[in-house]
Structure 1
Amino acid sequence: MELRLLGPVELVAGAGPVDLGGPRQRTVLSVLALNKNRVTPVARLVDAVWGATPPSTARSQVQICISGLRKVLDGAGAAAAIRTKAPGYLLELDDAALDSARFARMVAEARELSAGGRLAQASGTLRGALALWRGAALTGIDSDVVRRDAVVLEDHRMAAEEERLRIDLELGRHEEISGELRALVEAQPLREKLHSLLMLALYRSGRQAEALQVFRRARTVLVDEVGVEPGAELQDLVRAILNRDPALGVPETTRAPVREPVRPAPAAPPSAVPRHLPAGIADFTGRDMQIAEIKDLLSGDRDPFAVPIVSIAGRGGVGKSSLAVRIAHELGDAYPDGHLYADLREPGEDRTPELHARFLRALGVPGTAVPEDRRERAEMYRTRTAGKRLLVVLDDVAGEEQVLPLLPGSPSCAVVVTSRARLSGLPGAHRVDVDVFDVGHALELLGRIIGPDRVAAERAAAVELVDFCDGLPLALRIAGARLASRPHWRIGDLVRRLGDEAGRLDELAHRGIELRSNIALTYHGLAARGQRLFRLIALVEAPDFPAWTAAALLDIDVPAASEVLESLVDAQVLDTVVYPGEHEVRYRFHDLIRVYARERLQERETDEDRHEALTRLLGAWLELAEDAHRQEYGGDYTVLHGDAPRWRPPGRAVPVDPLVWWENERRVVPAAIRQAAAAGLDELCWDLALTSVTMFEAKGYFDEWHETSRLALELAERAGNDRGRAAMLYSLGSLHLAQRRLEKAEECFAEALTLFALQGDDHGRALVLRNAAFVDWLRRDRAASVRKYDEALDLMRAAGDRIGAAHVLCNLARIRIDEGAESGAVHLLDEALAISRHAGCLRVEAQVLYRFTELHLQADKIDLARPALHRVLRIVRQIGDRVGEAYALHGLGLVRYREGRLDNAEATLAHALVAARGVGELFVEARIRFTLGEIAKAKGDGQAAQTQLVDAAELFERLESAVWQAKSLVLLSEIHVAGGDADRAREEAERAARLLPGPAVA
C-alpha cells in the first residue's frame, strides 16, 4: 500500500488505485497525511475543507469524512489507521507507505553520501528521489491550506533538483546537463541558483560567451519582473568568469567533497556562528519534566517537512524566559549552526523587518546587502536558514503574528517561543504550560539564593513566605535577594513586612527589579525637573517616543530636554532604542514603571497642568505631520487645517524624508489622535486625522484611516464643530471611495458639501466636489462628473490649491480619454504634469504619468507607454506609495500583454496581484484578474481564464463597477461559446446586457 502526494493524490493498494471518495474526504486525507503520526486538530481540517466560511455542521461533516476514510483504508487492507486523539485525529502511517516521506529520506541520504565524498551515489539517489514525482504536488485538492503545503513540497523538489545538478557539475558532467539546465531556467527564470549552475556548466564546457549571455538575460528578467539586481553569488560568478578564475575549474578527484557549487570566494567573510542567547542563571530550579519533554521533541525524530516549534506559556514572572534559555544552552551541541534570540515584549509593535535584518547580519549577510523590502528580507531569511541546524528563541511574544514571519526556512531548524498567552494559532506547535512553583521547588529556589541552612532553620516562616509570593519565581527571587543582601534579617522579619497587604508590592522590590518600591526609590532620587518629566511622560500613550517629546511636555528646548531624559536613562527608569535605518534615539517606559508614573502624575500634577502638557504634545505631532505633508505635496495642498494650537520644538527641523517619518510614526500618530479624542481636543483631533490621510492612503492603512476619522467625527459632533464634522465626513467619504463603497461615499460627500457651504469654506467644497465627481464617473454619469470637476477646478484655483487643481485636471483627462478626445486629454495632462513638477509633488506626477500611459495604450503607442510606466514605478517605490505600485505593475503587465509577451505579462501581473492584495486595493485587484483572464483566454486555457474572470466579476459587483463587471461577463460568454456551452454563454451575455442598458463605456 502506498499513499501518494507527489502528484495527483491517490492511494494505491493491490492491483491499483483505490477510490478515496469525494473532494472533502480527499482533502481531509491529504491534511492528515501531511501531518502523519501527529495529531491534526479538527479546526485545521475544517479550515482546509471550507476556509474562512465553514458551515455550522462543519465538525460533524469532518467526522463523516473520517468515518468514510476509515472504511476506505480498511477495505483496501491498507497498513494505516486513523485514530481519534484530542483535539483531532492522527493518521498512523509508516514512512515507506508515503511517497513524500520516502522522497525526504532519499534526499537526506543523498546529502550524507555527498558529504562523505560519494558523489556518484549521491547523484543516483537524488535521481531516484525525483523520479517519485508524478506531477505537481497534491494535484486535485482545492484547498488553500493544502496548497500552502504543496508549495513547500515543490520548493523541496526544486532544492533537490539543484542539489543533484550541483553534484553532477562536481562529477564533470557539465556538458551532459547544460541542456537540462537551460530548460529549467526557462521554466523557473527567477531562481538565481539555476542561472548560476547553467553559467558554470557552460563555462566549463568552453562556452564563456554563452555563460555571460545567461547572466545578462538573468539580470534583465530580475530587473524587469521583480525590480532587483542579481544577488551577490551571480555577480561574484560573472566577475570570476570574466577573469577566468582557476577556481571555476572542475574539482580534482582527490579534492575533499564540498556541499556548495564551486564558485569564487564570496565578497563577505564567512559568517560566524551566531550565539545570541543571554547567559543562563546559576540558581535555575525545577522544570525537569518540561526540560525533558522539550529536549525530546527538539532532538528526537521529527517531521521531515515541518519546523518543530515549542510554545512555552505562563503568567508574567513565572520563569518562561529562564526555561527557554536553559533549554537552548543544553541543546547547544544539537544545533551547531548557532542560536538566534529576540525579545519581543513590545505588544502591538511589528518588529519583524528589524529582526529579519538583525538575524541576517548574524548569519553573515553584510548590512548593505539586507533588502529594504520586508518580503525580500523574509525570503532571504528563509533561504539563509535552509539546511542549517539552528535554534531560534523568541522571547515574550504577544501573539502568533509576531512568530510566523520569523520561522526559519528549513525543518532542520527549531523554534522555542515564550508568551503569556497560549499560542494556539501556531500550526503544529507543541505547547508547554509553565505554572508557579509548588512549595518544594519554591523552597529549593529560596535555598539556592540565601542558603539551604537558613531555610531549614526557619522552615515554617519560609513556607509562609512562599505563600505570600504565591509561588511566583520572580517574587521569590526579589524576596530572596533582599534576604541575601541582609544576612542579619530573619525570614520571619520579611514575612511580617509582607503581612501588610497595602505595602506588599513595596516590600517585593530589590535593586533594580521593577516593582513599586524600587521605582519609588529611583524616582525620589531624581532632580526636580527629572521627577516632573518622569510624571509627564505617563501622558505618552505610544510605545516609544523621540527626545523632542520631553521638550513639548516640559515646554523647553530639545537639548535641555535631552539632558533631563538622559538622567532618567541613567536612573534606569527609561530605556533607549534605535531602530534600523534611523539615527534618532527613542525612549520608552517599562509597563510597571509607567503604572507608577501615572500614580505620581495624578498625585502631583493639577488638571490644568496635565491638560496644557498634553495640548503641547499633541500640537507638536500636528506641526510635524503638517511638515511631512508639505514636503510630500509641495505645500499645504489637498488638505484643510483648523486653528488648534501648534507646538514646534525650538530648533527642530522638519522631517528630512516624509516617507521615512510617516513610516516611523505609523503607530504613534494614530495613538496621538486617540488621545486627542479622549481629551476632547476636537479641533486638534480632526486636523491631525485629516493630515494623516497622507500616510494612510498611500500605504493602504485603511483600518487606521477609518478608526481615526470615525473618532474625530464623533468628537466633532459632540463638540458642535461643524467644520471638523465636514472634514471628517470628507475623509470617510474618500475612504469609502477608495474601497468602492459608492453609496456610503455619496452620503458622506453630500453631508460634507452642505456643511462646508454653511461655513463658506470653498476649499473644503472643492476637495469634496473633486471626489464626488469621481463617484459620478464610476456610476457612468459623465455630465454630472464633468460639472463637478469643472466647479472643483475653479474653486481649487481660487483657493490656491495647485496640486488639487492638477489632480482635477488629471481626472478630467480620464474622461477625455474615454471619449476618444486624445488632443484634449493631452492638453489637460500637460498642464497637470507641469504643476506637479513645479511644486515637486512626486505623488501627483506619478498619477499624471499613469494617466498618460492609459492614453498611450488606448492609442496602441506601446513604445511611449512602457518608459512612462517604468518612471511611475520608480516614483511610487521611491515615495512608498504601495497602492500606486499595484497600479503601475498592472500597467506594465498590460504593456507586456499588448506586446505579445504573455508569460512575462503573467509574471508581472502576479507581482501586481500580491501588491494589490497586500494593501486591500480591490479595484486594481479586479482589473488584474480581468487581464489575467484575457491572457489565459489568449493562450487557450479556458479553465484558467474562467477562474480569473469569475473572481473579477464578483469583485466588480462588490465594488458596484457595472461597466467592468459587464466586460468580465462578456469575456466569460465568449469562453463558454468556445467551449461549446451555448446556454451558459447566453446567460452571461444577458447578465452583461442587463448591467449596461445603454451604450458601454471603456
Structure 2
Amino acid sequence: MNGSPMVQPAVHGGAGIPLGGWHIDVLGPLEVRRAGQVVELPPRRRSLLAVLALRAGTMVTVDGLVDALWGEDPPPTAVRTLHAHIAKLAALLPGNGDERLIRRRDPGYLLDAETARVDRVRFEELITGGLRHVADGRFAESARMLSRALALWRGEALADCPVHGWALTEVDHLHEMRLQAHEGLLASRLVLGGLPESGTGEIERLVAQHPFRERLWELLIVALHLGGRTGDALNAYHRVRRGLVEELGLDPGEGLRQVEAGVLRGVTDPRELLRLPTGRTPAGTGPLTVPQQVTTLIGREAEITGIRELLRAARLVTLTGLGGIGKTSLAVAASRAAADDFADIAFVDLAPSDDEASIVAAIAEALGVHPRGGRLLDEIARRISCDRVLLVVDNCEHLVEACAPIVRELLGRCPHLRVLATSQQALRVPGEALKPVPELRVPPPALVRSGTDLVGHDAAVLFADRAGIGKLETLSTRDARAVATICARCHGLPLAIELAAARARMFTLPEMAHRLQDPFAVLTEGPRGARPQHRALRATVEWSYRLLTAEERRALRRFSVFNGAFTLEAAGAVHPETAPLEMLGRLVDKSLVKVVRTAAGTRYQLVATIRAFALDRSRAHPDEHARTRQDHARHHRRQAEEIERRLQGPQLDSQVVQIAERHEDVRAALTWLTENDPEGALRLAASLWRYHYLRGGYAEGRAWLSSALAARTPEVPSGTQAKALWALAKLAALECDYREADEHARRALELYTRDGDVTGVARSRALLGAIARELGHYDRALEYAHQSLAAAERGGDRWATGHALQLLGFVSWLSGDWDSAGRYSEQAMHCFRPIGDHERLAWCQIDLGAAAYYAGDLDTAARHLHRSLLMSFGIRFREGIAWAENLLALIDLRQGRRRQALRRLVTSLELHHELGDRWRLASVLDALAGALAGHDAPLAAELLGTAGWLRDGMGALVPACERAELAATRARIVDRIGAEAVERASALGRWQDVTALAERVRLGSAAR
C-alpha cells in the first residue's frame, strides 16, 4: 500500500446509520466509510483510529494512546511514532476546520464525535433504552430496541485491530453489554409469547460460549419449561449446578434457585420466573442499608428537593463540600425522600476503606452480594444489572482515584443504577452532576435586635434545636445577638453549630459567643460514636488538610494570608511557585476554596474554617509566613498605586469597588508595611486618599496616613513624603480640621517646590485655596487658585488644570460672582471630559447648578444638579449626592415643594454628618431652619444654634451667597417667637446631636 486510502463501495451501510459523512464502525472488524464509500487504512493506523473511536468525543492522552497501542512494553520511540501515525492518519482522513476528524487537545487527541458517527454510540443508546423498557415492564418496546442494538454487530468488536491495556478493557465491556442485550431481548420475547425452537437453540449457543453466566441458564430453563420440555429444563438446572460446583466450587445463585423452584411449582408466568416487572415499577423492598436519622435535619428542604430532581436527570450526583457541612445527613435524607423512585437503596460508607478492593467489598456487602470466586465487581453488576437501585456512596474524598473507575464501570453496566456520592471533590466521571452543599444561613449579628430577627435563619434554628433553647422569638436582645454571633463564628457549618450547642449548656449565650473567638479551642468533644474527624472542629479540618499533597498544603498556607476574596493575580503574587489557575482549580475541586462572583470579576476565597487552620499552620513555618506577608503587602501596595492612576478616568467606580473588596487585605498590608517598610507604607496610604474621599472614609484614611508618617525614616524620598502630607491635608480639610490641613499642605508645598515638582506645587496650592474658601477668605482662595492654575498649565497637567479651574468656579459662586463661576466651571468641564473623571464632572455640574440657582435661573440650576446627582449615584460618590440633594432642596423650596425639600435636606444632613463635613452641615442646618421657620419656629431656632456652634468650632464664616437668606430666616423666626425665645432655643441647639435633630425634623414633617 502506498499510503493513500483505497476507497471501495460499501458492502452495507450499518443498521440504523444513514449514509453520508464519516462513519466508523467498531462492533466487528473496523470499518471506515465516508459518504457510503469504504476507506481502507494501513494496520497500525487502523488500530490508532479504533482506539480513538472507542472514546469518541473524549480526549485520550498521549500516554493513554501509547498504552492502548503497545501495552506494557512500548518501544523507546513510541511517542514519536505515535505522533507520526497521527499526522499520517489525519492526512488519510481529509477535513478542514470543523470537519476535521482528529483534533489535538492537550495533552492528547480526540476523535470529533460531531464529525463522525460511531456505531458504538448508537449501540449504547439503544441498549440503555431497551434495558430501561425491560425494567419498566414495556417488553414490546424493549424487544424492538434491543433487536436494533444487536443488529449493529458484525462479529467480534475490533477483531482485526490488536489493542492493549484500557482499550482491551473497553472491548471486553462492549462484549459484556452485547450479552446484556441478548439477555434482555430473550427475556422480553419470552414474556411476549415464548420463543420458537430456533430461539431456544440461540440460548443453547450462548450458554455454550458462556457456561458460567447464570442469567443465560435461567433463560434456557424458562424457555424449555414454557416450551413444554419441563424435564429438559430441570436437567439443564442440574447441568449448570454440577458445572458451578465442579469448576468453581460454588452453588447456584439465588436467581437460578428461584427459577428451579418456580418450575417445580408449575409456574408458567415468565415474569415471575425471571423476576421481571408486571408493567409498572415494583415497590421493591425499600431502603436496604440507609442509616436511620437520629436527629432532625434542619434547613435542607430545598436541597433535598433539588437532589431528587437531579437523580431523575443524571445517573451520578455528587454532593460536594467541606467536612462538617452535612453531606452525609443530606445524602441520607435525600435518598429516603427518593425511595419511591427505586426498588432498592443501598448505603456504603467508605470512611473505613483504604483501597479499591475494600471499596468493592463495601459495595457488595451493602447490596447483599457474596463472593463466588469470580471478580466481585462482576457479581455486583450482575446482581443489579436490570434493577432500579440507588447506591449512596459516602465519604469518597480520600479514595477518589480508586472510587471513580468503580462507579464508572457500574454505571456503564447497570443502565438503571443511580449513584448519589458525597465527597469533598468531584469524582470526574462522565455525566456527573455536582451539587455543592452550602453553609446554613447565618443571621447578621449587627442587624439582630430581638429573637424575632433570628427566625428563618437555618443556622440559628439548628443551634436552638440542639441547645434546647426553645422558641427563638422569646430570647432577649442580648441573647439573640449572642446566638447570631455564635452562628457567625461557626461560619454556618452544621458540625460546628452542633458542637457549639453541646458546649452552650455550660455557659450563658454571651459567654459562649465570646469564647468562640477561638472556635478550635472550644468546639471539641463531639458525640461518642461519631467518626473521629467529626468529634472536634480541628479534627474535621485536619482530615481535609491531610488529604492534600504537600504542594497543595503549601498553597493553602500561602493563600490564608488573604483576609477576604482575592484575584488570580494576587494568588500568583503570594505563591509564585505554581500556576495559580491550576492550583486554585485543585483547591476549588476539593471544596477548600470558594469561587466568588463580584461586580469587579471572579474572586477566590478560602472557606473560613480552613483559612483559620491554614493560617495557624502558616505561622508554624515562620520564614514562609514572613515571606508570604511581605509578598501580600507589596502586591497590595502595587495594586493600590495602579488603581489610583485609574481613579481619574472612566473606570472610576469599578476601581473603587476593587479597593473596597480588598479593604481588609489592604489594611493588613498597611500594618505590615508600617512595621517593616516605611516607604512602602507611605506609598500605600497616600495612594488610597481618593478612595477614602469617594467613599467618605475620611477618618480612617487620616489614621492610616498619620501612622505611616509617624513610622517614616529619613531614607524615605521627599516626593513620597510630600504626597502623603498632601493626602493627609486633603482628608483633614474634608473633616474641617483646617489648622492641621493648612499645616500639612504648606509642608507638602515646601517639599514639592524644593523637588521642582510642578504638578505637586499646583495641587498643594489648590488645596490651600480650598481651605481658605471654606474659612470664608475668598480673596486668598482665588489667589491660590490662580497660582495653582499657572503651575498646572506650566507642567502640562490637564487634570490639575481642571482642578484649579473648578476651584475658581466654586469660590466664585460662594462669594457671589455668578458669571465668573459659570465661565470657570465650563472651562473645568472641558478639561475633565476627555479624561472621563466623573467625580470632577459631578462637581462642575454642582458649581454650574449653584451659580444658576443664586442667579435666579431655577430651570438651568435643576438641570445641572439632576445631572450631578445621577453621576454621583453612578460612582457612589456620597459627598456629591449630599451636595446635589442640598441644592435641589433649595430649588424645591423656591417652587413650593416644601415636603420634598425637607426629605432632600434630611438626606443631605445625614450624609454630611456621616462624612464628618461640618462646614457644609452648618449650611444644610440653616436651610432646614428656613424651611421650618413658618411651621416650627422653636425647632428652626435650635437648628440655627447648632449651625452657629459648628462654625464657631471650625473658625468658619457663613458663605457670602447664603448670608441674605440666613438673615431672612432669622427674622421670620424672631417674628413668630420673639428674640429672647430665639436666643434660648439657639443656645439649646448648640448641645443637640445632629442625628437626633434629623429625626425630629423627619417626624415633624411626617406629622404635618
Q: What TM-score results when the alignment is normalised by the length of structure 1?
A: 0.46
Larger-gyration structure (1/2): 2
